[in-house]
Amino acid sequence: MANNIVKTEFDGLNIPYSPEAEQAVLGAIIYEPDCFGRVTEILPRPEYFHMSMHRLIYSTMLSMYTQGRSIDFVTLYEELKHERNFDPTEGKTYMAALVENCPSISNVEVYADLVRSKFEGRQLMNTGKRIIEDVTSGQHDPALLVDAAEQMIYDIRQGKSIQGLERIESVIIKTFDRLDALNKDDDALKPMASGIGEIDRITTGLNRSDLIILAARPGMGKTSFALNIARNVALKSKKTVAFFSLEMTKDQLVSRLLSAEALVGGTKLRTGKLSDEEWQRIISAGDVLSKCDMYLDDTPGISVPAMKAKLRRLKNIDLVVIDYLQLMTTGRHTDNRVQEISEITRNLKVLAKELSVPVICLSQLSRASEKRAEDHRPQISDLRDSGSIEQDADIILFLYREAYYDKNKVIGGDTSEVDQNSAECLIAKNRHGETGTVKLHWQGEFMRFTSPELGREA
């Protein structure tokens, strides 16, 4: 079988293309429809075919397959006759030739692999042209161009390079596959547990492709809360977690994780004044945490493209945590911070979708909550810098501790001390269902949140 290189209208470039392989795939399916399921795993969309006639035939096959209809010469021909770009007379002759000239039904997967490889070659050429155009324009930062080029090539390898409209039939197939996998208790598709039961109940867990904003005033415990979730996902669920800290160093993050795991005060870890028993607890905690598949990055002012480039080098990433939004940059100089934050949140949502992982991004709140006399609990309007945070987020969580604002309050005419350990997680937005408030217990000495009932983790 020849591996043809043909001329096309695109700047006279030689485009990789194998007409024989495309014809052999279609002919094999018409002759033996049972092989179609194996072919769709290799060629999920019509765009893998170069010839417009082949794309039309394969698209019709996909439609019939989705509807559960049988595919053979007669049924396919009758369906194609309804297509505007199909000539019944010439088309019938061409379909007969596809079946007659198919070399071997048993090799259909080999032919499909060849069609796919030629498609990827065309995609690689188009990507190269785009990279050359971007570089020669001189309008982009070279560092960003490197990240963009790496992303485009990565997308080709992952089969994500096709852009545009997709027929509902192919989406339905994916949905049925996902539901079937969930029915079979496939953990790969289920939302991950954050380890905080009531939050998981309300939000259904950490859903893949979700952008989750965790916001609070400085000092409220955002980083500790995020580390608690990261630890639960990595240790209890055995998932891979990437934690980007734009404020704290990796050493500081690990100290907090050790403090929470060993129940040794953070002050002692900073001073190094530990008893023998505390040393043993720290060593044991280190042994437990070292088995976690967790990666830490403390690059200051990191951009989303740079973050994405690092994540691509990890395999099977399950959760991304970013601390925090207002310290991120786009990599370009701009005087409009609102516009910059809007671009960052949009790119974070795209990142979550492309990698199919939940992204938890911490965010600061404005001082508006402190100015409210009656109730300091945060509201969505308190989010700093941009309304796009609310728009792009699938879930918005607020952390709140009454003791943060006032150590004493009047209850029934008496001045009573506020519970220093009482905390709340306010679920202010939930694209998947209800909102609500979850009670928590704050252990400031160990930098961790637990359930209100002391003695068991949240």
Does residue 132 belong to any structural domain of this protein? yes
What CATH number is given to the structural domain containing 143?
1.10.860.10
Q: How far apart are CA 8 and CA 41, in angstroms?
A: 28
223-276 pLDDT, tens digit per residue, is 989 999 998 888 888 888 999 988 888 888 888 888 888 887 777 777 777 788
Q: Which of 109, 247, 390, 402 is catalytic?
A: 247
Is 150 a known active-site residue? no
Backbone angles phi, psi at 220, to 5 degrees: -80, -20
Same domain, yes or no: 376 and 416: yes
pLDDT score of 432 more than 50: yes
Q: Residue 181 falls within a domain, yes or no?
A: no
Decide if 250 is inside a domain. Answer: yes
Q: Please indicate, yes or no, if residue 455 is contained in any of the structural domains.
A: no
Confidence band (pLDDT; 50, 70, 90) for 305?
confident
Contacts of residue 187, Cβ cutoff 8 Å, sequence gap at least 6? none
Domain check: are 217 and 259 in the same one?
A: yes
pLDDT of residue 15: 80
User: In whole angstroms, how large is the CA radius of gyration of the chain?
Assistant: 28
Q: Is 357 domain-assigned? A: yes
pLDDT given for residue 74 in this prediction: 92
Closest Cα partner for 11 from 106, 126, 95?
Answer: 126
Same domain, residue pair 12 and 55 = yes
Any bridge partners for residue 422, and if so which? 441
Domain match, 90 and 120 both = yes
- 252 burial (CB, 10 Å; 0-12 / 13-18 / 19+) is middle
**Does residue 374 have a pLDDT over 60?**
yes
Residue 119, token pair as written in the block: 């498609």
Helical ranges in 364-414 per DSSP H? 368-371, 388-392
Can you give the pLDDT at residue 76?
92
Among the candidates 175, 208, 243, a domain finishes at 175
Among residues 116, 142, 175, the one where a domain terminates is: 175
Task: Give the pLDDT confidence score for residue 415 in this predicted structure.
Answer: 45
Q: For residue 305, give the H/E element and its range.
A: helix 304-312
Cβ partners under 8 Å of residue 304, min gap 6: 328, 330, 344, 347, 348, 351
Domain of 354 in residue numbering reads as: 197-450
Q: Could you read off the pLDDT of 97-110 as tens digits, one per residue? A: 999 888 888 899 99
Q: How confident is the model at residue 183 (pLDDT cuts 50, 70, 90)?
A: low
Q: What is the DSSP secondary-structure string of 45-72? A: SGGG-SSHHHHHHHHHHHHHHHTT---S
Tens-place pLDDT, residues 139-166:
666 766 776 777 667 666 655 544 445 6
| 206 and 336 belong to one structural domain | yes
Say yes or no: 151 and 203 in one domain: no
Concatenating the DSSP letter of every residue in 4-19 gives: -EEE-SSTTPEEE--H
Question: 221 and 331 in one domain?
Answer: yes
Q: What is the mean predicted confidence (pLDDT) over 443-448? A: 79
pLDDT at 212: 92
> Which pLDDT score, from 0 to 100, does residue 205 have?
84
Share of the chain above pLDDT 90, in %: 14
147 half-sphere exposure, CB direction, 13 A CA radius: 17
pTM: 0.61
Q: Which of the residue ranges 128-137, 221-230, 274-283, 368-377 has the most confident prediction, judged by mean pLDDT?
A: 221-230
Between 131 and 215, whose confidence is greater?
215
Residue 18 lies in a domain: yes
Residue 191 lies in a domain: no
Q: Which of 175, 210, 228 is the last residue of a domain?
A: 175
pLDDT for residue 209 is more than 60: yes
157 and 270 in a single domain? The answer is: no
Q: Are residues 110 and 160 in the same domain?
A: yes
30: amino acid identity, one letter: I
Same domain, 318 and 202: yes
- In this predicted model, which residue has the larger pLDDT, 378 or 169? 378
What is the CATH number for 211?
3.40.50.300
Q: What is the DSSP string of 245-292?
A: ESSS-HHHHHHHHHHHHHT--HHHHHH----HHHHHHHHHHHHHHHTS
CA diameter of the chain: 94
Residues 216 and 87 in one domain: no
Residues 226 and 170 in one domain: no
Closest CA to 203 of 366, 393, 76: 393
Structural domain contains residue 186: no
Beta strands in 81-210 (DSSP E): none
Out of 41-45, 140-144, 381-385, which region has the weakest mean confidence (pLDDT)?
140-144
Question: How many domains does the chain contain in total?
Answer: 2
